[in-house]
Every structure is written in structure tokens, then in C-alpha cells.
Amino acid sequence: MTFICFVESDNSDVPHMEPLRATTFADARVEARKLLAGHATGIIANVFEGERRILSVLRDELPRDRDVPRIAARTGPKRPQNDNQ
């Protein structure tokens, strides 16, 4: 079954939804924590397995920003490097 993570933020009524690559509960927890840490306005990440919520991670439960690796945005290809800079 696929794990789905919903990240709620303090500036939108619509949560960000993303399927997780995790195949275990432990991996889903790690991935949800990273996903929440990557959203500057995220306040909670809720992970579902099917229609059942299996865990929630609060922003306050995360280590300080420097302790949590940021995940790369999945919004498109990287920009080409300009050799003139």
C-alpha cells in the first residue's frame, strides 16, 4: 500500500499532498519529517495508509533546521549553469 503525506501550513487552507516512496512505517516517518522540514510554512505532516491516518509529525517535534536535511524541490529541471558568472 502507498503512504500519502499531507503537509498542512499556516498560510493555506489546502494541504500539500505527496505520495511517499517509503515501504515501511519507519521509512514513512523519516520521509514525512523531511517533507515537513522542507516546507517553510508547514505546521504538521499527516501520513495515511489508505484511508487510515497512521502518524502525525508536528513542526515543534523536528530538530532545528541545521539538523534536518532539506529535500530538493520537485518542481522541474535544474537551471543550466552560466559560465559567464
| pLDDT the model gives residue 42 | 93
Task: Work out the percent of the chain whose per-residue pLDDT is above 90.
Answer: 66
| pLDDT the model gives residue 63 | 78
CA distances from 40 to 31, 51, 70, 71, 80 (A): 16, 27, 10, 12, 26
| pLDDT the model gives residue 68 | 47
Separation between Cα atoms, residue 56 and residue 7, nearest integer Å: 10
Q: Would the pLDDT of 75 be above 50? A: no
